[in-house]
Amino acid sequence: MSNLRIIPRLDIKGPNLIKGIRLEGLRVIGDPQEHAIRYYEAGADELIYMDIVASLYGRNNLSDIISRAAKNVFIPITVGGGIRSVDDARHILRSGADKVAINTAAIARPELISEVARRFGSQAMVLSIEAKQVADGKWEAYADNGRERTGLDVLEWVRRGVELGAGEILLTAVDREGTRSGFDIDLVRAVSAAVPVPVIASGGMGSLEHFKAAALDGSADAIAMADVLHYKRMSIGDIRAAALAAGLPVRKV
Amino acid sequence: MSQPSVTIVDYGMCNLLNVARAFEYCGAQVTVTEDPGTVRTAGRLVVPGVGAFSDSMKEVTNRGFGNEIKAFAQTGRPMFGICVGMQMLFDASEEFGEHEGLGILPGRVKPVPSIAQNGRSQRVPHIGWNHLVEPELGRDWHGTLLEPMLGSQPAVYFVHSFSAEPAQSTDRLADCVYGDHRICAAVQRDNLMASQFHPERSGEIGLAMIRQFLSL
């Protein structure tokens, strides 16, 4: 098994790091750069940046924030929100990102996944999924940061996305996001089993038990978290130590 | 002390900015070049790479970099291949058919095993942090790229579906273990160094390796 990754997720609105609950009710946390450097120095394995209003306005505004981060942060950076074309992806990658995460535009035009994967490699093409449960064992993919229904079944959509060239899945459970009530383990497990590529579980981390459950019961390859880190409820060091104590394959720093 | 100069080969296939930024951060004076004519006179050469082997080799060859990189390898000056830049140093790759490499080091590029030793399937690409260990036959890291990591098993960042299998075991500098399979993570033969992992994305440990490369 590859080492389990601990990934701080930075949701951005304008110049600010923000945090919402179920992707709504946003509160300003502070300066994204300060937080990025703090997480890098604390031993984060990667960072995820999401421009959470970008798909509404049709463009991603993160390139300045990313180029600043890239000068001081030497771990992989994934950037999502409002990326609609190969040119958008190129712009974000040139700013210093290693991967782009695409949701809304890939739902509108799935061939974009292949275009980005062919041009920059599958490893740079992360399919972002915003999932809401609709029945037992059934989830629907949402667009526009959890605002718009699409009618797509999550499991069918991730399989198709990987066939088209997605190299990784960022899986956000919208109903859990910002609630600290734990990951949607059934969702994580179902998606992990559906595709051969790594799955990043996102949405709901509130305790170390949640982290362990996502890895052990959900088979997540990476775990994204925001609230617990932004509000300093726990540190990356605490999480890493607890994971090591539980025998989980996080890297030793 | 003068600033060490580094030339990074730009053959149009990948995003070199993060590689350039990391070397600059470590104190190098960096030139990113699309001109093969500048390779031979470089103080130190870096061959980065991301993506598919055959596309990368095609670009390297078509843009006239192939022979220049081979010639540079003979100068004795330090050279660093990263990821696909490591793979291209070898004879050939099996990615999407059979493709010839630069043949600077003997060996072949093969798929990362998708079945672990215990028979379970495992994720490919191999993405994430993994610890470096000495090769099976041992290797002294003194005086090598990995000297700063002596006595430890540093974790570094990998993202790849294929990896080089050196024909000469003495070229092997470090392995990582994935699903109980050993994967060649780094090679070094005299001035030729290469890593399958990304030192520019491996945090402070990766930066320490880059500084070590700049000091050799």
Q: Report the pLDDT averaged over residues B23-48.
A: 96
pLDDT over threshold 50, residue B35: yes
Q: How many helices (H) and strands (E) does chain B have?
A: 5, 13
pLDDT over threshold 60, residue B135: yes
If you average pLDDT over each of A1-5, A172-176, B149-153, which comes out highest?
Answer: A172-176
pLDDT in tens, A55-94: 666 666 899 999 999 999 999 999 999 999 999 999 999 8
b/e code A99-118 from CB counts within 10 Å (16+ = b) = bbbbbbbbbeebebbbbbbe
Touching B: A residues 154-173, CB under 8 Å: 167-168
Interface-testing mutation among B24, B157, B160, with chain A (most A C-beta atoms within 10 A):
B157
8 A C-beta contact, residue B54 and residue B88: no
Domain B5-215 sits in which CATH superfamily?
A: Class I glutamine amidotransferase (GATase) domain (3.40.50.880)
8 A C-beta contact, residue B183 and residue B196: yes
> CA–CA separation, B66 vs B2, rounded Å?
30
- Closest residue, chain B, to A199 (C-alpha): B123
Residue of B15, B116, B204 lying closest to A94 (CB–CB):
B15
pLDDT value, residue B122:
87
Q: Report the pLDDT averaged over residues B156-176.
A: 96
pLDDT value, residue A168:
95
The residue ranges of DSSP E strands in A84-237, in sequence order, are 99-102, 125-135, 138-143, 148-153, 168-173, 199-202, 222-225
8 A C-beta contact, residue A176 and residue A187: no
pLDDT in tens, B61-108: 999 999 999 999 999 999 999 999 999 999 999 988 899 999 999 999
- Non-local (6+) Cβ contacts of B181 within 8 A are B112, B113, B116, B117
- Average pLDDT taken over every residue of chain A: 94
- Closest residue, chain B, to A5 (C-alpha): B128
B160 counts as catalytic: no
Confidence bin at B12 (pLDDT 50/70/90): confident
Strand partners, B107: B166
Chain A hits for B51, Cβ within 8 Å: 120-121
Does the beta carbon of B113 lie under 8 angstroms from any beta carbon of chain A?
A: no
* ipTM score for this prediction: 0.91
- Non-local (6+) Cβ contacts of B121 within 8 A are A196, B114, B115
Is A98 in Cβ contact with B18 (below 8 Å)? yes
pLDDT in tens, A96-119: 999 999 999 999 999 999 999 988
Pairing of strands A138-143, A125-135: antiparallel
> Six-digit token pair at B64?
């006239």
Domains along chain A with CATH numbers: 5-245 (3.20.20.70)
Chain B hits for A3, Cβ within 8 Å: 128-131, 155
pLDDT in tens, A207-227: 999 999 999 999 999 999 999
Is B127 in Cβ contact with A198 (below 8 Å)? yes
> CA–CA separation, A81 vs B45, rounded Å?
36
Q: Is the pTM of this model over 0.80?
A: yes
Measured in degrees and rounded to the nearest 5, phi and psi for residue B100 equal -80, 140
Comparing C-alpha atoms, which of A123, A164, A157 is closest to residue A139? A157
The amino acid at residue A150 is T
- Closest residue, chain A, to B122 (C-alpha): A1
pLDDT over threshold 50, residue A1: no
Does the beta carbon of B201 lie under 8 angstroms from any beta carbon of chain A?
A: yes
B198 counts as catalytic: yes
pLDDT value, residue B50:
79
Does the beta carbon of B129 lie under 8 angstroms from any beta carbon of chain A?
A: yes
8 A C-beta contact, residue B195 and residue B127: no
Is B204 in Cβ contact with A3 (below 8 Å)? no
